[in-house]
Structure 1
Amino acid sequence: MVRRFIRFLLCLVGIVFIGGGVFYFITAPNPLPESHWAGLGTPDTKNGEMVFWAGGCVSCHATPGSEGDAKLTLAGGLALKSPFGTFHVPNISPDEKAGIGSWTLAQFGNAMKRGVAANGEHLYPSFPYGSYTRMTDKDVNDLFGYLKTLPKSSNVAPPHDLPFPFNIRLALGGWKFLYFNDQPRVVIANADDTIKRGQYLVEGLGHCGECHTPRDFLGGFQSNMWLAGAPNPEGPGRIPDITPGSKAVGSWTQEDIASYLETGFTPDFDSAGGSMAEVQRNVAHLPKSDLEAIAAYLKAVPKH
């Protein structure tokens, strides 16, 4: 009887040990190797600036309340409230201590495309690496080069304020296992180069789905509701549906959408408001061909 009990305990310990090992293997951070980032050459900072505006970096990382050129000092500090707690946006200026000035391209690239911090930990998806993972390595390299040209800031943002169990970073590996991938959000048959460019901008750099797509109780996208609208993460109201089946955008032409992104005015002479006003000011820096590509993609995605 005693021997059976001991065998049972040993088997139980073995199962827990093996299960723990499998869990860690599945959920451990998975950065790309240093060699992946070698050989990309000198960054094209002009392209990096366009990536910067398409990615909306100033919207979160600029000092809250800053205006004009001061917004290019990416000191962080913005508090992002969510159902999981409050996230404090970090300093990504080229300051060597408070910012990312001492980072390597591999560290920056793995943050952008793998959600892995410079110290090897998982990053929270409040930083939209779930979208940025679709970036090309060239755009990552060019963006990193451009960020190095911006002003430094010694500001240190507060740590995230998250209750248990959301403060356990290892659990993010489970979230990534369920939701994180670099595949297209939707498949568009017979997409031409313009639509493909728009898909890259919307699904990747522009991370439009982060606000316009509803999420489940774990914070993952409801994949069958891509861009179908979602609760406003900043408070009351709702982020609109921007698929062709929507009441507003569905009736707009591609030219209407491109013009709205360029000017901030809708076809009926209303204007962008709320957080979209900031987004519009960012994408207005892009060439007209990119705005037209975004419009073409939005008219081609599935209706809801």
Structure 2
Amino acid sequence: MPQSTLTMTEAVLLAHALVARTAEDVGARILFIKGPTAVAVRARPARLSTDVDVLVDPVAFEEVCHAIEDIGWRRRFTQRQISRAADLAFDHSTHFIHTEWPCDLDVHFNFPGFLAADQDVFEALWQRRILVPIAGTKVPAPDFTGQSLVVALHALRDPENHSNTEDLKYLSIRLGGAHPELAQEVGELAAATGSSESAHQFLVSIGAAQSTPEIASDRLAAWQFRQQTSGLSGALWLAELRRTPWAQRPKLALGALLPRREFLAGSHLASDLTRRQVAALHLRRWQRGLRATPAALRSRHLDSGA
């Protein structure tokens, strides 16, 4: 009998229930963000999701990650030779993959754009939690206000992307004009989570912008860097290269152009890649890097003194 496979939609919905149960088993607080839960509260238009985004109470993050590994998921290989540009990385999550599931799990301890302390961000969103019916169970998620801010921040990382443009327009219509009280709630949540500056463009569009001084922090710099480079791979490598002494640049450049085989294999489900497959993955990385180069070179954060 042929083995049955999950569709992407089935996998995403069932994985929400799986992660919720796994977190409950270890007594950890979590909040599902984006995806089906954002659609359920009408903070995002309905469309196919390919992964599960979950924000974990920072104090329980590693415990939840270990519990997810215990049920057969594995972490994507993320080791990289970025040290001088680490302040621009905005590390915020761990990705998990599974050979029998077509979707990924993106397990967050923070979310790009929230510049306040991780625990403060989680507590602010946790106070606005609701239960959303997903795959026959009820999973915790931020309410409409919380999801709106999460969706907006995600969209603002690359506002030229078509889906992101749709999301921002959708939220502006939902929150603008006839619903000033909802817009005000979003503005207050932005202030509480340190995202008034990073979400400023969105807050202006819904009439909820607040007069706050710019936050001088590594996180704001990392956020601005992501916006300027659209988060494309290669940008961090360029920043690292510019901050590296000339004598060490050839070795660094070689590592960026030809990363170790386990790095490539660890980012995909296949663990026994052929030479042809490895070559194709290298080519794909180079293409993404070339697309990122012009914007990355224009970024002021590439300078050694950033």
TM-score by length of 1: 0.31
Between Structure 1 and Structure 2, the one with more helix by share is 2
Between Structure 1 and Structure 2, the one with more strand by share is 2
Q: Which has the larger radius of gyration?
A: 1
